[in-house]
Every structure is written in C-alpha cells, then in structure tokens.
C-alpha cells in the first residue's frame, strides 16, 4: 500500500455514483440527437438500459459498458476494487459474462504515484476475480481523481436480461441492501464505526456474479442494477421500458447498518434531491410515508445490487440460489402490476402498508 496520509474523499467534491450528472439534466443533453442504429444493435439508447448489446452472430452478442467515478473511500486499493466491481455490474445485470476491460484513469500526477498504483492494483484484483482480463486503458492528468473501466462481456442474443421485459405477475427481488450513498458521505464527512464501515465495503466490493448466475438459472425475465439513480430511478426506467407498474413493499427493503443513523445526521447526497426530481411524475405512495425508507429509495448507490423481475413460480428458486451463493441480503422487494386507469406505465408505487 502507498505510504500516504492523503484522504482521497477530501480531494473531490462528490463521491462515487452520487457524482453523476443529474438524470434530468443528462436526459436533456441526450435528446434531439440522431443516435443511428442498425439491425445488429440489440440494446441501444431506447430504454436507458444498463449497457449496449451488439450482435456478432446468431449465438454471440457483445455487451459493452463503461463506468467511472470519484473516490468513495480513502483507501486507494479498496477504491479500485469498488470501481471495478461497479463497472462489471452492468454486464452481470444483462445476464452476461465479462470478457475484457480497459482502465479509465484521471489522476493528478504531482501526487504520490503509489496511490495510483494501489488504485490500479485494486481494480486488477477485482477483474481477476471476475475471470475477465484488463487489456489496456487511458489516463489523463487533472486535479480530480477518477477511476473506472470500460467492460466488454458476452451473452447469447436470445438470453439477454434487459430492462424492457418485466411482466405483470413477476416478483421483484433486490440483491443488495440500500444506503451506500449515505454511508459514503459518512466516510467523507464523519467517522463511521468499524463494523458499519466493514459491511459497507463488503457490499460495494462484492461482485454481482452470483446474482447474475442465479437469475439466469431461475429464468428471470428482466433485470437492472441499482446505482446512481437509486432504486426509484432505475426501477422507473425498467417499469417504463417494460410498459408495466412496479410496487415496492417499503418495509421489506434491506438496509445497510448505519444508513438510518446517517439519514438522521443529514448525510444525504445531492443525488437524493436530483433522483426525486427525475422520478417525480412516476412515484406514488400508498399508506403513511416513512421518510427513512423514502430517502433510501432515492439514495444513489455505488456498486449496488441487482433488481430482478422473475416469474412468481420461480421466485423461491431464485431466492434459494441467491442465499446459497452468498447474497445474504437479497429479499423479495415488490411485485409487477399491469398499468390501469390509476397508474400509468412506468409508475412506481411505494407501499408503506
């Protein structure tokens, strides 16, 4: 490890996926541009899916994605691991197998290069764990530290788990506990207890590989990973793309230890507000609103879990596979409904009853 007392989180203004461009601003920037496509583009811009998918032949398609962000923790090696796990997640969410990765690096070269070496080593170790390989990258010298990867994976064209194929009657399963954005702010501005910190790091460095394998075996219909737009934003995108309504059982949502205290200490990220703005026309509440659970639903997640839409008859199998494979916080979080006169397609209901 580098011998440095520099705190990475103090070198940037926003941490992790909370540093994303606000979704409503990004949507404005993307619109009215002619994004050309062809018959081999199986997944493109249309549904705001996790990654793009390009067909090579009838049995092989490539999943392509990129993800990078500013430090969420002070330890460079751990930051590298988290960034790599987060970048791999989009491939896992599509039901794919990671093949290769390219490093994306921004680093002030006047700083201790041992920090950079440890970041890269963390990323390399996590990619090695996935079975993929790093084959290159690109770096620039700027004041903010940024690290991530462009990842390529493979999937059979007939077995893509997109965000547009959720079906009424499906069960919604969430594989990781919520609260990473709040707790990352606790790391940046506070001093979380060691047990709280350890569980946070364990969650963010855990690959979604087992969850991906499990959902494929269980015949899941659709999936997205939960990252910067929070559970609210990513579920809204998935419900819109699938032309259905999602209902979440808010009292079932898994919560990382320390996140509730963080909310009480007002350690909310800027993403809480921007995700509310992004989803405001599609979020509805039933029952007495629990502001704690509500904050958790809007909290931007870094290296969050998968939100899986699976036929009800397969849900027990999927839950067993998840728990047996180590995804201990996975829960049945909600259900998929038909849109009706009350709720339009894309609506997300927060059920507090």
Which three-class secondary structure string do you get for 238-290? HHHHHCCEEEEEHHHCCECCCHHHHHHCCCCCHHHHHHHHHHCCCEEEECCCC
Give the model's confidence band at 17: pLDDT under 50 very low, under 70 low, under 90 confident, else very high. Answer: low
Checking if the pLDDT of 287 tops 90, the result is yes
Question: Which residues are annotated as catalytic?
Answer: 17
- Cα–chain-centroid distance for residue 169? 24
User: Looking at residue 1, what is its pLDDT?
Assistant: 39
User: Looking at residue 51, what is its pLDDT?
Assistant: 86
For the question of whether the overall pTM of this predicted structure is more than 0.85, the answer is: yes
Radius of gyration of the chain measured on its C-alpha atoms? 19
Average pLDDT over residues 60-66: 97
Residue 97 CB partners (closer than 8 Å, separation 6+): 91, 131, 153, 154, 155
Closest CA to 17 of 69, 53, 58: 69
Lowest-confidence region among 13-22, 303-312, 318-327: 13-22
Distance CA 114, CA 226 (A): 32
Using one digit for the tens of pLDDT, what is the confidence trace for 259-276?
999 999 999 998 999 999
Residue 183 host element (H or E): helix 180-189
User: Looking at residue 35, what is its pLDDT?
Assistant: 81
Distance CA 245, CA 238 (A): 9
Average pLDDT over residues 165-191: 93
Distance CA 226, CA 174 (A): 9
Residue 7 CB partners (closer than 8 Å, separation 6+): 74
Average pLDDT over residues 322-344: 95
User: Looking at residue 18, what is its pLDDT?
Assistant: 55
User: Looking at residue 296, what is its pLDDT?
Assistant: 98
User: Looking at residue 47, what is its pLDDT?
Assistant: 56
Using one digit for the tens of pLDDT, what is the confidence trace for 64-82?
999 999 999 999 999 999 9
Distance CA 276, CA 266 (A): 16
How many other C-beta atoms lie within 10 A of the C-beta of residue 62? Answer: 19
User: Looking at residue 189, what is its pLDDT?
Assistant: 83
Report the C-alpha dihedral over residues 247, 249, 250, 252, rounded to 10 degrees. -140
Give the model's confidence band at 3: pLDDT under 50 very low, under 70 low, under 90 confident, else very high. Answer: very low
Q: In Å, how far are 28, 87, 112, 147 from 81, measured between CA atoms?
A: 32, 10, 19, 10
SS3 20: coil
Distance CA 305, CA 312 (A): 20
Average pLDDT over residues 54-73: 95
The overall average pLDDT reported for the chain is 92
Burial class (CB in 10 A: 0-12, 13-18, 19+), 86: buried
Q: In Å, how far are 177, 241, 259, 276, 301 from 256, measured between CA atoms?
A: 5, 29, 6, 21, 11
Backbone angles phi, psi at 180, to 5 degrees: -65, -35
Average pLDDT over residues 180-204: 91
Question: Domains (ranges, CATH) in the chain?
Answer: 8-159 (3.30.1330.10), 170-351 (3.90.650.10)
How many other C-beta atoms lie within 10 A of the C-beta of residue 140? Answer: 10
Checking if the pLDDT of 4 tops 60, the result is no
Identify the residue with better confidence: 112 or 17.
112
Average pLDDT over residues 27-40: 84
How many other C-beta atoms lie within 10 A of the C-beta of residue 21? Answer: 11
User: Looking at residue 104, what is its pLDDT?
Assistant: 98
């Amino acid at each position: 490890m580098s011998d440095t007392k520099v705190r990475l989180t103090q070198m940037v203004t926003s941490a992790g996926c909370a540093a994303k461009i606000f979704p409503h601003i990004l949507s404005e920037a993307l619109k009215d541009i002619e994004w050309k496509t062809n018959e081999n583009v199986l997944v493109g811009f249309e549904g705001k899916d996790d990654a793009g998918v390009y067909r090579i032949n009838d049995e092989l398609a490539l999943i392509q994605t990129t993800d990078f962000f500013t430090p969420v923790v002070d330890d460079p090696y751990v930051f590298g691991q988290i960034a790599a796990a987060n970048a791999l997640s989009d491939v896992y969410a599509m039901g794919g197998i990671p093949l290769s990765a390219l490093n994306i690096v921004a680093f002030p070269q006047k700083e201790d290069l041992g920090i950079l070496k440890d970041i890269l080593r963390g990323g390399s170790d996590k990619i090695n764990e996935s079975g993929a390989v790093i084959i290159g990258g690109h770096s620039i010298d700027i004041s903010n530290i940024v690290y991530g990867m462009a990842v390529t994976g493979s999937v059979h064209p007939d077995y893509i788990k997109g965000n547009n194929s959720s079906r009424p009657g499906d069960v919604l399963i969430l594989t990781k506990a919520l609260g990473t954005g709040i707790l990352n702010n606790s790391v940046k501005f506070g001093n979380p207890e060691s047990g709280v910190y350890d569980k946070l790091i364990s969650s963010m460095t855990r690959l979604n590989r087992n969850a991906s394998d499990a959902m494929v075996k269980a015949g899941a219909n659709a999936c997205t990973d939960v990252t910067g737009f929070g559970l609210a934003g990513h579920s809204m995108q998935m419900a819109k793309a699938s032309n259905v309504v999602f209902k979440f059982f808010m009292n079932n949502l898994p919560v990382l230890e320390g996140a509730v205290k963080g909310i009480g200490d007002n350690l909310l990220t800027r993403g809480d507000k921007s995700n509310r703005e992004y989803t405001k026309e599609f979020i509805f509440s039933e029952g007495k609103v629990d502001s704690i659970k509500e904050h958790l639903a809007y909290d931007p997640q870094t290296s969050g879990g998968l939100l899986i839409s699976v036929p009800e008859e397969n849900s027990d199998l999927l839950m067993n596979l998840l728990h047996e494979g180590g995804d201990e916080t996975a829960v049945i979080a909600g259900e998929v409904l038909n849109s009706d006169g009350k709720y339009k397609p894309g609506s997300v209901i927060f059920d507090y009853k």
